[in-house]
Amino acid sequence: MEMVPVWLIVVIKSLIVLLIVITTFAYSMLFERKILGWMQLRPGPDRVGPWGMLQPAADAVKMFFKEDLTPKNADPVVYKIAPFISLITAMGTFAIIPFSESSAGLWSVGNVDAGILYIFALTSISVYGISLAGWASSSKYPLLGAIRSTAQMISYELAMTLSVVGVLIMAGTTSLVGIVHAQYNLWFIAPQFIGFLIYLTTAVAETNRAPFDLVEAETELVGGFHTEYSGLRFGLFFIAEYLNMITVSCLATLLFLGGWSAPLGLTMVPGIIWFLAKAGFFLFIYMWLRGTLPRLRYDRLMAFGWKFLLPVATLNLIVTSAVIALRPV
């Protein structure tokens, strides 16, 4: 190990993680279309390859060859940079997500002590990608989408962060690895069930997924913030959306379902399998949610966030801290 420089290890690890994450994105997109299809009594994509397994490749080729349009009045620089802000912030979170742990070490690119803060910082920045895209398009629907995104993502991030603070208090650390270690005896979903529900709800809003997809809202805003985007730049937004979805699923696994720790002492199954299974379960929940609930009205969305989720999250936080403080050591 001495001979290999540290930076090379990091680069190789990053490449592996990126490869896995992009593949996961491609197939989670396919499975979302499949699952939505089955829920609506359709077969879903099944033309390209057996069971449509090559559909992501076909989509990628299509995206590649589409014309990349820029509206005449758009701000050219911001318009072109915005998708990259979305994508880079979405990809950045995977740098510190620990997928598993073995005697050789941790299965992650980097291990940051304030891991959870790093992830929340990045998701906050990702609002810029969307709102700048909507603003720079200089078109009314993207602008409306951008306004909604800033309002929605900021107000739901508040409740999201508060719901996670309960977990942080119980674990006594902001490191993702530390949080998983603190759950070896009892997953935080049990003591923090309300926090878990709030996290699940706000995570959907945070990633702009149905039923909180007011930022895109095809039926009202054409395509929302990405109305004017086409070709590869639209593809970048698309990738970013799914990567965010994978991030919040991984985060839910780490924070509430004990990460890679095996349930019921089933340790013969490797930790990475448990991690993937749990994260996949959350991904399925997002698809299930999209197939079930209709989109919320904008004012109700805001009312729900501020008048219900935020007070409940605060209450949860207060009760958790009181219990921890009064607990006999």
Query: What's the min distance (Å) between Cβ of 41 and other proteins?
Result: 4
Q: Please state the φ and ψ torsions of residue 183, each to the nearest 5 degrees.
A: -100, 10
Query: What's the min distance (Å) between Cβ of 40 and other proteins?
Result: 7
Cβ–Cβ under 8 Å, residues 193 and 257: no
Q: Is 50 in the site for other proteins (CB under 8 A)?
A: no
Q: Is 300 in the site for other proteins (CB under 8 A)?
A: yes
Q: Is 41 in the site for other proteins (CB under 8 A)?
A: yes
Cα–Cα dist 161/117, whole Å: 9
C-beta closer to other proteins: residue 52 or 56: 52
Q: Among the candidate windows 38-46, 114-122, 221-229, 320-328, which touches other proteins by CB under 8 A?
A: 38-46
Rule CB under 8 A: choose which of 16, 42, 53, 57 binds other proteins: 42
Q: Is 327 in the site for other proteins (CB under 8 A)?
A: no
Query: What's the min distance (Å) between Cβ of 47 and other proteins?
Result: 9
Residue 209: exposure state from Cβ atoms within 10 A (0-12, 13-18, ≥19): buried
HSE at residue 31, side-chain half, CA atoms within 13 A, is: 15
Query: What's the min distance (Å) between Cβ of 289 and other proteins?
Result: 8
Q: Among the candidate windows 36-44, 129-137, 152-160, 235-243, which touches other proteins by CB under 8 A?
A: 36-44
Vertex 207 angle, CA 183 and 142, to 5°: 165
Name the one residue in this structure whose structure tokens are 């589409």: 66
Q: Is 64 in the site for other proteins (CB under 8 A)?
A: no
Cα–Cα dist 102/83, whole Å: 36
C-beta closer to other proteins: residue 44 or 258: 44
Rule CB under 8 A: choose which of 10, 16, 61, 307 binds other proteins: 307
Query: What's the min distance (Å) between Cβ of 36 and other proteins?
Result: 9
Size of the site for other proteins (CB under 8 A): 18
Q: Among the candidate windows 52-60, 232-240, 247-255, 300-308, which touches other proteins by CB under 8 A?
A: 300-308
Taking CB under 8 A as the criterion, which residues in 72-131 touch other proteins?
A: none
Query: What's the min distance (Å) between Cβ of 291 and other proteins?
Result: 5
C-beta closer to other proteins: residue 58 or 60: 58
Q: Is 49 in the site for other proteins (CB under 8 A)?
A: no
Q: Is 288 in the site for other proteins (CB under 8 A)?
A: yes
- Interface with other proteins (CB under 8 A): 35, 37-43, 46, 288, 291-293, 300, 303-304, 307-308
